[in-house]
Structure 1
C-alpha cells in the first residue's frame, strides 16, 4: 500500500534525524518531506537521510508553498508560533502532531481544533520525550487499584544538548514559565521559588538537584489515573551510564504510591532509560505516533479528535520498540 508523504516541519535538526531513523527501521519506503525555511539546509538533510525530499516552507502561505501536493500527516518539530502547520493540516484534513509547546500555551491549538473538530486528529505531543513518561507510567499503574501519588524525575545529561532547536525550545519555556504546574492533594497549583526545588535519586542512587517543570504529563497522568498528587521535576547533570564510564543516556524516574489490587498499600519505583539520550527516545515516540495516525501498520488511521500521545500509542508495542532500541524500564529499590 502506498502513502502520501509525511511532512516534517523543522525536520533537518537532531529530532528530525532521529524521527526519520526510527521510521526507516520499520517503513523504509515511506516518502518524507523535510520542510524548512532554508531550502538548501532542508535538501542537504534529506540527502543525508535518504529517500526524502527537502522543500522550502512559506509559513505565511495557506498552502505552505506546497501547492496542491498531497500530504498524509504534518509533524511540527519546533515551536510554531503562527500555527501555520496546524491550519494547513486541518485544511487538508490530515493528522497534526506538534511537540514543542508548553502546557501554558496550548489554547491556540485547542481553539483551532474546537472550530474544526471533525477535520483530523490533532495530537498535543508535549509529553516529556513524547510518551516516554506517560506510556510506561500508565502500564505500571495497572498494578494499582488506586493511584494516590506520582512523582517524576527526569535527568538530562549535560552532554545531551539535542541541537539548537531543542535549546531554543527550553529557553522559551524557561523564560516564560518559571513556575511548575503540579497537582497536590487534589488541587492544581503552580510551584515556584523554594517550593519548586526538589531532589530525586538517579538510576545509580546519586542525588540529583532538580526544579519543578510544567509538563503536560502532570495533567494527563492525573486525569488518566485519578492520582490526587502528581509532580514533574527536571534535573541536569551526569547521567548514571556516563558516571560509570559509558556514554550519556537519558533516564526518567517514576515513583508511584497507592493501593494494590488487594487494597493494600503499594509503592513502586522504576526508571525508563534509553542509552542514546533524549533525541532517539523522542524520535521513536514521534515515529510510532506517525505509524498510528496514518495507519502505516495496516490498522485504520486515528479518527478526528484531540489526543495526548498515550491515548494513541499502544503500550505493549511502545515497550517492545523501546527494548529493540536498547532502552529499558527497570524496577528500582525504594528510596
Structure 2
C-alpha cells in the first residue's frame, strides 16, 4: 500500500498466492521478491553461474547440508516446523513434469564436499520451479540433510554447504557433467544475511544503480552473480569445483 519494496524469505512454496494476487491487481505498486529460496538466492545465483558453461541443461540437483549445530534461533525453528507440517512432500521436476515426492520417493543420497555419502530427504524449495523456468531443464530436484558439515568433520568450525550438480551439453554439444560446492564458513544465517543485504541494496538503489522497478522477481533476477560471489569470497566463503565420479 505504501509502494515499499517487499521481500519475503521464510514463506513456503505453497504460500505464493497472496503475493501473486497483490501483484496481479497492482503490478505497478512496488517490486515484490519471492525470496524464499534456500539462503534467499545463494543457490540459484551460483547454479545459474555454473550453467553458463552449458548450451543445454538436462538435470539440476541441489543438495544442502546443514550442520547439526547450526540450529539458528527460535524463528528458524518455527519456520521449519511450519513448513514440514504443511508440506511434507517435495516438489520435483521429472521429464518436464512437476511431481510431488513422498515417502520412499522423497528419500535421497548425495556426496558432501568431503566425499561422504549423506542420507537426505526431498525439500520443496521454490528454486525448483525458478531454475526449471530459467534453464528449461526437464529434471530438477532439491534435497536437504542435517548432520556433520565437512569443515567440522575435518576439525574446523561448522559451515553450511550446498552441492550443485548439473548435467547436459556444453557449448559444442558434447556431454558435460559438473559438481560444485557453495560453502559459507559461518553457517546458514550469515549466508542468508548476505543475500538479503545484497537484495536490499539492489531494491533500494544503494548499489549505485537506479532502484528496482515494480514487478515480481526471483532473487537471481536481481542479484549480479559476479558481485555476489565476490562478496561471498570476502566473507570467507567460496564456490568450489568438485570432482565428478
> What TM-score does the superposition give when structure 1 sets the normalisation length?
0.73
1:147 maps to 2:57: yes
Higher gyration radius (CA):
1
Residue equivalent to 1:204 = 114
1:106 maps to 2:20: no
SS state at 2:240 partner: strand
Residue equivalent to 2:157 = 247
Segments of 4+ moved more than 4 angstroms: none
Residue equivalent to 1:288 = 198
CA distance in 2 between counterparts of 1:114 and 1:135 reads 26
SS state at 1:160 partner: coil
Deviation at 1:249, TM superposition (A): 0.2
Residue equivalent to 2:220 = 310
CA distance in 2 between counterparts of 1:176 and 1:122 reads 23
Deviation at 1:112, TM superposition (A): 1.4
CA distance in 1 between counterparts of 2:184 and 2:69 reads 15
1:321 maps to 2:214: no
SS state at 1:132 partner: helix
Q: 111-120 or 178-187, which moves further after superposition? A: 111-120
List aligned pairs for 1:38-117, cutoff 5 A.
Answer: 91-117=1-27
1:130 maps to 2:40: yes
1:258 maps to 2:140: no
Number of aligned positions between the proteins: 245
SS state at 1:297 partner: coil
1:220 maps to 2:130: yes
Deviation at 1:116, TM superposition (A): 1.1
Query: CA offsets, 1:221-265, max 9 Å, x none?
Result: 010011000000000100000001111000000000000000000
- Any gaps of 5 or more consecutive residues in structure 2? none
Deviation at 1:130, TM superposition (A): 0.7
Deviation at 1:104, TM superposition (A): 1.1
Bigger relative contact order, structure 1 or 2, given CA contacts below 8 A and separation 6+? 2
SS state at 1:129 partner: helix
Root-mean-square deviation (CA, aligned residues, Å) is 0.6
Residue equivalent to 1:162 = 72
Query: CA offsets, 1:304-330, max 9 Å, x none?
Result: 000000000000000100000000001
CA distance in 1 between counterparts of 2:217 and 2:130 reads 10
Residue equivalent to 2:28 = 118
